[in-house]
Structure 1
Amino acid sequence: MGESVDRVLQQLRSAGVRVSRRELLQLAMFSSAALVSGAALAACGGGEEGGASTPSGATGAQPSPTAAAATTPAQQPAATPTTSAGQPRRGGVWRMALHANPTAYPITIPGALADLLVNKTIYNCLTQYQLKDNQIEVVPDLAESWEANDDLTEYTFTLKQGVKWHDGQPFTAEDVKFTFDAILNPNVNAALRGPVSSIDRVEVVDEYTVRFVLKRPFAPFPVMLGYNQAIVPKHLLEGKDLNQPTEFIANPVGTGPFKFKEFVQGSHLEVVANPDYFDGAPYLDGIVFKVIPDGNARVAQVRAGEVDFAVIEPPQVDALQGAENVEIREAPQVNYYFFAVNHSVPRLQDVRVRRALSHAIDKQAIVERVLRGYGQVATGPINPLLGDYYNPDVTTYEYDMEKAAALLEEAGWTKGPDGILTNASGERFTILFNGPKGFPVMEQVITYAQQQYQKLGIEVTLDIVDWPIHLEKYRNLQYDLLMEWWITPPDPDLYDHYHSESAQNRWAYKNPQLDELLVQARSEPDRAKRVQLYHEMQKLIADDLPVIYLYYPRELQAMNTRTKDLPLIGYRDALTWMEKVWLEE
């Protein structure tokens, strides 16, 4: 099959027809009822009715329960990739704004979001996401197809053949095994171990087949393999210090549509087109990721035409009104914003205190006045975009300052002569509140929260710092409260951030009952039962309130109108399709 597809592909390209290997396989799938039937089975059963759905020889897309793109009041974006009546053209450099310096190394991702964005263009995962028919689907990337055993404890992936690393070496199953062995190695500071922590071992079946043997059933496993689990080259990293492979970081090598060219600290990281990309050479000559820490400066450069793409915040929309070269798009993104609570701080371990902190924040006012309606109040970590996995019937914390004060008093905090809350031991109620610079909405929300908490008698010190310092303090629990957000996979699995043993549990939260539910829910193959478990989990989380949930935002993308065929999906996932993007003259 692989050789015949490659032969047809070569004949078509020789005839001047530009078609990717993926597109050719999709055409082939439509001619086979058996393949279409297999493709309809979903790893997590998202959006499907009935019981469990299991990938069985799934070469096709697997839907996750995520809604379609929304429209903005400013402009009406299409629900499909931005296209043009003209034919795609080659050439040009696309420019995207980053908030911090990136490091193009996907194992430790020291720069978090900035690293992930760059990695999307240099590396590939086994699977990736696309938006189709109002759902986010899981589709093959480096994988050609996959199948699972009946109890979802083994997944066998067939890999695409003919894929090469940027240095010309062939990509094989050995690279896949090496990557996941590294991620699971406790001596490696892998940033995203949680989503794949269910793996017991990885077996190389042959050069282009790899088997994942899991510790327990895990229904959304193919979904998680598309969540920033980039494959790295064994031949360049074997025997190196995987926490700091200096030589590799200076010259990263992937299989992606773009190759690393250069990185200038504080200025930019540049990639150039990979003419040998397995899914067809990109239309673009390259991409420049410009490092612009200040949010308003990012917007100014978009308006001036110096940047082609930036994610913006609602108050920045007005600054782009009337700019004929800019399109404002709303994209579906499974995301939530919150105040992280450091549970190693004794005064924050009392749930009455956490509930008081939530009651003191008028979340609806934040959505209406700060977000300008681009979002909705959050009730927990599972976004409504996940369909019936979302449970709206949970405890909520309406704005009520009197109730907040009463809860604090019930917890043993009363105001002293200076108006500051103290407990029976004479300890003053203080909060060190951290947040990142360069994000106007976050800074506004944190300042508002400081004022609200001070009204209750809490002494609040703001700690607004540059992004790298913010991340360091977050990872090291150097805060009391900290504003953050999580963009999650299109699946309700919460293990990565809430299980007491997960490296991504950045707030030292421990709840044995929740731990048990987290494992049970991700292991449940029956979709209806899985939905029920996540409903139960959301009720528990809402009652115990590990963090202060704020809002589910809509992602606002400011994009130069010369950009064509960038999928209208969350920008992290859109970047995995950059070989399709082209620039209009």
Structure 2
Amino acid sequence: MIFSNQVRAFVCALLVATLTGCPGSKPQQSTGTVRVVWPKDPESLCPVTLPNSYAVQSINLLYQGLLAIDAASRSRVPCLAEAMPRETRDDSLTYLQYRLNPAATWDNGKPVLASDVAFTLKAHFAPGIPNEGQRAIIDFIQDIRLDAKDPRAFTLVCRGHAATHAINSGEFSVLPEYLLDPTGVLRAVPVRSFTRPVPNLEQLPAVLAFQKAFNEASRWRDPQQLRGSGPYELVSWNNGQQLTLARKAHWWGSQQSHPVFEANPSRIEFHIVPNAATAILALRRGELDVYPMISGPDFARLQQSADSTRFRFYSPPSFRVVVMETNTQHPKLRNALVRQAMGHLIDVDQLVRAVTFGRGRRTTGIINPLERWAYNDSLPLRSYAPARAAELLQQAGWQRRADGWHLPGQAQPVSLRVAYGAGERTYETIALLFQQAARQIGLEVALAPTEGGLLSEQRRNGEFELALRTLYGNPFFYDLRPLLHSDFVGEHGANRTRFSNRRADQLMESIVATGDSTSQARQLRQLQALLYDQAPYLPLFFEPFRVVVGKRLDNARPTGLEPGFAVGSLRAAAEAGGR
């Protein structure tokens, strides 16, 4: 299972929250306009940086990956690829042979080629681009070999052997080289120079020129630049108000037969409405059609209201887990006993009632308890016990005095800082309850609601102590290295906790490498036990999706994957049988 956070959708990504969801249509239905409410702006539609989950939702409608996730079968299926990759191995490398679907084209009518995949890999590995989230997912790819006789065929050369290589290899949106590198400045620089960087790679004129152009923020808001192989195109984007997509008149995937190619709405409007009361009023007035991730209390109240018969309510279990992230290298939090103590200051049962209206699922780790084959159910749920937290702090060497807690040799009392996204109601509730519990034992806690982009930068630079976030996952594979492996610590890695443990590294590497499910399950349980003691993350609960859809629409296809429904599948209720 790869998890990703709200700022970087991946794994981690991961990942996500199907980053390359590959929606489409067959045949295209005349659903008309579908209006979806979002609480915040997507910030950017760059398919490499993926600033938040709302950006991911839009990007999945504009771009496609080699593979897609079929939620019904919980498996990967070909998307831009003609078929699943053919895998061969030698002593230390894995080779994945792909061929692109001959029908796949860009908006200019030109075919999607292997050279586009090579360009895409360079963008995902290029220095100077905030691509660490996506790069972490596909870091095993070392090179690409293009077929001299077939411009649609290529082979990915991958480091080592892992059961997840094949499915992870399709986990990125393929980009059009003709639009993003029209003069071919990167063509002379091979992919292997990016995956195993040559000295001073970032100073090469070609790399500098590409980096400057790619990082231009306006590019990722421009309808003329945001043109992928997906079924929709960007019509307009009014920052903080509305983002509008329209279905392409001529799209290559419209003749594909698999359900992942559904693209029924002719137009999708994402309305940014930060205020929940305003969004619910617009939903009731019929000004909005879909409200995904509505709060637990609001979901329950709407279900019990007099006009509930006008809506369809979906609440599938999700793979998104709310956690408290700890900076394990911060002097205050280096001791695992201190991190464990933080877990005893969070009343998770109260949170589940308050935040999810009792629909959340408590957990001891970042693997969903519903995945019984992998979840370590022998570990006890961490109790809400402020007195126990105080005992653990004392065992860690902290000293309690009249003015608060002190680290050994420190004259000033300790104050902890909890950062979270400004305006995030769930995180605000958790932070306030945590602060109140800490006060009971004389521990000062400062709350730091922070703008999303700034918080991402602070976490990337290790400039935080505790942070509240949500990890997004899926049930297809369990590669936790980007989140927790020591190789991913640092500015260019995705291990924000800066957790480093040799035994954990060995387990994560072995879990990915083994093809034996029994061995994988055993090692996953061992890893969960180790992480439970070390507590780089304090997992709180898995939050279910909550989606409300106006009854004029149907075929939402509720799923445990982000964002809990399939917007491309929505169609007028009469077309869906009037259910």
TM-score band, normalised by shorter chain: 0.7 to 0.9
Give the TM-score normalised by structure 1. 0.79
Number of matched residues?
Answer: 497
Deviations 1:355-384 (A, max 9, x none): 111122222332234322212212111112
CA distance in 1, matches of 2:216, 2:371: 38
* Aligned-pair CA distance for 1:212: 1.5
* Aligned-pair CA distance for 1:433: 1.0
Asked if 1:213 is matched to 2:180, the reply is no
2:506 aligns to what SS in structure 1? helix
Letter of the 1:95 partner, please give it.
R
Aligned partner of 1:139 in structure 2 is 77
CA distance in 2, matches of 1:528, 1:318: 40
Deviations 1:373-424 (A, max 9, x none): 2122121111123341222223642222222111111222222223455543
Asked if 1:565 is matched to 2:505, the reply is no
1:327 aligns to what SS in structure 2? strand
> Structure 1's 387 and 126: CA in aligned 2 closer, same or farther, altered over 3 A?
farther
> Structure 1's 260 and 352: CA in aligned 2 closer, same or farther, altered over 3 A?
same
Aligned partner of 1:494 in structure 2 is 480
* Aligned-pair CA distance for 1:222: 3.9
2:418 aligns to what SS in structure 1? strand
Pairs within 5 Å for 1:110-509:
111-132=51-72, 135-145=73-83, 146-149=85-88, 153-190=94-131, 191-205=133-147, 206-225=150-169, 227=171, 229-238=172-181, 239=185, 240-241=210-211, 243-246=214-217, 248-249=219-220, 250-251=222-223, 252-280=226-254, 282-309=263-290, 310-321=292-303, 322=305, 323-394=308-379, 396-421=381-406, 423-490=408-475, 491-502=477-488, 503-509=493-499
* Aligned-pair CA distance for 1:233: 0.8
CA distance in 2, matches of 1:379, 1:164: 46
Q: Residue 539 of structure 2: which of 544, 549, 553 is its match? A: 549
Check the 8 A contact 1:295/1:439 in 2, yes or no: no
* Aligned-pair CA distance for 1:185: 2.9
CA distance in 2, matches of 1:295, 1:468: 22
> Structure 1's 560 and 571: CA in aligned 2 closer, same or farther, altered over 3 A?
farther
* Aligned-pair CA distance for 1:326: 2.2
Deviations 1:501-534 (A, max 9, x none): 3222122222222222222221222222222221
Letter of the 2:513 partner, please give it.
S
Aligned partner of 2:206 in structure 1 is none
Check the 8 A contact 2:296/2:356 in 1, yes or no: yes
Asked if 1:515 is matched to 2:502, the reply is no
Letter of the 1:464 partner, please give it.
P
CA distance in 2, matches of 1:124, 1:561: 30
Letter of the 1:318 partner, please give it.
A
1:409 aligns to what SS in structure 2? helix
Check the 8 A contact 2:312/2:550 in 1, yes or no: yes
* Aligned-pair CA distance for 1:551: 0.9
Letter of the 1:417 partner, please give it.
A
Letter of the 2:331 partner, please give it.
P
> Structure 1's 470 and 187: CA in aligned 2 closer, same or farther, altered over 3 A?
closer
Check the 8 A contact 1:294/1:439 in 2, yes or no: no
Letter of the 2:465 partner, please give it.
D
> Structure 1's 538 and 186: CA in aligned 2 closer, same or farther, altered over 3 A?
farther
* Aligned-pair CA distance for 1:262: 1.4
* Aligned-pair CA distance for 1:566: 2.4
Aligned partner of 1:90 in structure 2 is 30
CA distance in 2, matches of 1:568, 1:219: 28
> Structure 1's 426 and 247: CA in aligned 2 closer, same or farther, altered over 3 A?
closer
Check the 8 A contact 1:236/1:248 in 2, yes or no: no
RMSD between aligned residues: 2.6
Letter of the 1:138 partner, please give it.
R
CA distance in 2, matches of 1:341, 1:155: 37
CA distance in 1, matches of 2:61, 2:152: 23
> Structure 1's 296 and 453: CA in aligned 2 closer, same or farther, altered over 3 A?
farther
Deviations 1:450-484 (A, max 9, x none): 11112122111111234344334333333211110
> Structure 1's 298 and 470: CA in aligned 2 closer, same or farther, altered over 3 A?
farther
> Structure 1's 574 and 119: CA in aligned 2 closer, same or farther, altered over 3 A?
farther
CA distance in 2, matches of 1:393, 1:334: 20
> Structure 1's 243 and 513: CA in aligned 2 closer, same or farther, altered over 3 A?
farther
Deviations 1:150-178 (A, max 9, x none): 57822222221121212333211111121
Check the 8 A contact 1:334/1:383 in 2, yes or no: yes
Indicate the percent of aligned positions where both proteins have the same amino acid. 23
CA distance in 2, matches of 1:504, 1:298: 34
1:276 aligns to what SS in structure 2? coil
Aligned partner of 1:531 in structure 2 is 521
Letter of the 1:514 partner, please give it.
A
> Structure 1's 573 and 124: CA in aligned 2 closer, same or farther, altered over 3 A?
farther
Letter of the 2:496 partner, please give it.
R
CA distance in 2, matches of 1:350, 1:199: 36
Unmatched tracts of structure 2, length 5 or more:
3-26, 186-209, 256-262, 575-579
Check the 8 A contact 1:421/1:457 in 2, yes or no: no
CA distance in 1, matches of 2:135, 2:571: 34
Check the 8 A contact 1:334/1:385 in 2, yes or no: no
Larger mean Cα displacement after TM superposition, 349-358 or 363-372: 363-372
1:516 aligns to what SS in structure 2? helix
2:332 aligns to what SS in structure 1? helix
Check the 8 A contact 1:335/1:488 in 2, yes or no: yes
CA distance in 1, matches of 2:359, 2:414: 34
* Aligned-pair CA distance for 1:296: 4.0
Deviations 1:117-144 (A, max 9, x none): 1101111111121232xx5222221112
> Structure 1's 306 and 108: CA in aligned 2 closer, same or farther, altered over 3 A?
same
* Aligned-pair CA distance for 1:574: 6.4
Give the TM-score normalised by structure 2. 0.80
1:129 aligns to what SS in structure 2? strand
CA distance in 2, matches of 1:195, 1:207: 26
CA distance in 2, matches of 1:179, 1:574: 28
> Structure 1's 421 and 583: CA in aligned 2 closer, same or farther, altered over 3 A?
farther
Check the 8 A contact 1:89/1:283 in 2, yes or no: yes
Aligned partner of 1:18 in structure 2 is none
Unmatched tracts of structure 1, length 5 or more:
1-42, 45-86
CA distance in 2, matches of 1:515, 1:529: 16
1:263 aligns to what SS in structure 2? strand
Check the 8 A contact 2:319/2:561 in 1, yes or no: no
Check the 8 A contact 1:116/1:572 in 2, yes or no: no
> Structure 1's 127 and 89: CA in aligned 2 closer, same or farther, altered over 3 A?
closer
1:388 aligns to what SS in structure 2? coil
Letter of the 2:75 partner, please give it.
E
Larger mean Cα displacement after TM superposition, 118-127 or 556-565: 556-565
> Structure 1's 556 and 222: CA in aligned 2 closer, same or farther, altered over 3 A?
farther
> Structure 1's 224 and 320: CA in aligned 2 closer, same or farther, altered over 3 A?
farther
